[in-house]
Structure 1
Amino acid sequence: MRNYYKISEISKLYGIGADSLRYYERLGILRPRREANGYRLYSLKEMYKLNIIRDLRRLDFSMAQIKEYLADQSVGNTLELLRRERRLLGERLRELRAREELISERIAVLDNARKIRTGVFTVKNMPERFCVQLCEHIARDEEMDFAVKKLHRRHEEKIRDFGNQVIGAFPSMENMRRGRSNVYDAVFFILESETPDYDFILPAGEYLSYFYGGGYEQNAERMAEVLAYAENNGLRLLGEPFEMYEIDNRDTMREEEFLTEIQVRVE
Structure 2
Amino acid sequence: MYSIKEFAKELKVKVSTIRYYERVRLIVPKRSDNGYRLYGDDELKRTRYILVMKYAAFSIDEIKQMLSMMVLPTTPDCEFKSEQLLVTKERELTQKIARYQEVLALLKEVKPLAIDSHYEEVEPEITARIDTIYQKINEEAD
- Please state which band the TM-score falls in when normalised by the shorter chain: 0.5 to 0.7
2:62 pairs with 1:65? yes
Q: Provide the rounded CA distance (Å) in 2 between the counterparts of 1:8 and 1:37.
A: 16
From 104, 122, 126, the equivalent of 2:108 is 104
Q: Which has the larger radius of gyration?
A: 1
TM-score (normalised: structure 2): 0.65
Match of 1:89 in 2: 93
Percent of counterpart pairs with the same letter?
27
Instruction: Kindly indicate whether the alpha-carbon contact (under 8 Å) linking 1:59 and 1:88 is maintained by their aligned counterparts in 2.
Output: no
Higher helix share: 2
Q: Provide the rounded CA distance (Å) in 2 between the counterparts of 1:115 and 1:20.
A: 44
Task: Report the CA distance shift for 1:73/1:115 in structure 2 as closer, same or farther (over 3 A).
Answer: closer
Q: Deviations over 1:152-198 (max 9, x none)?
A: xxxxxx96538xxxxxxxxxxxxxxxxxxxxxxxxxxxxxxxxxxxx
Map 1:178-193 to 2 at 5 A.
none
Unaligned runs of 5+ in 1: 117-128, 130-157, 163-267
Q: What code does the residue aligned with 1:88 have?
A: E
Q: Provide the rounded CA distance (Å) in 1 between the counterparts of 2:37 and 2:54.
A: 23
Higher strand share: 1
2:20 pairs with 1:23? yes
2:110 pairs with 1:113? no
Q: Provide the rounded CA distance (Å) in 1 between the counterparts of 2:66 and 2:16.
A: 22
Q: CA deviation at 1:111?
A: 4.8
Q: Deviations over 1:61-114 (max 9, x none)?
A: 11121012112337958x836544432331122111220232234235435525
Q: What code does the residue aligned with 2:19 have?
A: R
TM-score (normalised: structure 1): 0.37
Task: Report the CA distance shift for 1:114/1:30 in structure 2 as closer, same or farther (over 3 A).
Answer: same
Instruction: Kindly indicate whether the alpha-carbon contact (under 8 Å) linking 2:113 and 2:119 is maintained by their aligned counterparts in 1.
Output: no
Q: What code does the residue aligned with 1:104 have?
A: K
Question: What is the SS of the residue equivalent to 2:18?
Answer: helix
Q: What code does the residue aligned with 2:97 have?
A: L
How many corresponding residue pairs?
118
Q: Provide the rounded CA distance (Å) in 2 between the counterparts of 1:92 and 1:54.
A: 18
C-alpha root-mean-square deviation of aligned residues, in Å? 3.3
Task: Report the CA distance shift for 1:82/1:68 in structure 2 as closer, same or farther (over 3 A).
Answer: closer
Q: Provide the rounded CA distance (Å) in 2 between the counterparts of 1:85 and 1:115.
A: 38
Match of 1:161 in 2: 130
Instruction: Kindly indicate whether the alpha-carbon contact (under 8 Å) linking 1:7 and 1:42 is maintained by their aligned counterparts in 2.
Output: yes
Q: CA deviation at 1:28?
A: 1.0
